[in-house]
Structure 1
């Protein structure tokens, strides 16, 4: 489960979509860019390959809830 999910716009002009996200997963901190097309680009470390699809699904759900609500 993702914990301490945080996001902020990538651009000062908030009309331009794109967000910097950070969160903890399995006691490891991760950072990524979330783009308007739903693509996620991890900055630095990324979750293990077997967890990646699960983490991306959780990120999409959180972004839908927080940003696109």
Structure 2
């Protein structure tokens, strides 16, 4: 399960989409860029390929809740 999820806009103008995010999963911190189309650009480490689809779904749900509420 994802913990300590944080996000912030990439740009000062809220009209320009794009957000950076970070979270912990199994004690490892991950960073990424969430694009307006829902794709993720991982920065540095990324979750193992076995679980990356589940993690991506969780991030998408969190971003929908926080950004597009």
Output the TM-score relative to the length of structure 1: 0.97
Choose between structure 1 and 2: higher helix proportion.
1
Runs of 4+ off more than 3 Å: none
CA deviation profile, 1:8-67 (whole Å, cap 9, x unmatched): 000111110100000001110000000000000000000000010010000001001111
- Measured on the aligned residues, the alpha-carbon RMSD in Å equals 0.5
- Where does structure 2 lack aligned partners over 5 or more consecutive residues? none
TM-score (structure 2 length as normaliser): 0.97
Q: Structure 1 unaligned segments of length 5 or more: list them.
A: none
How many residue pairs get matched?
A: 69
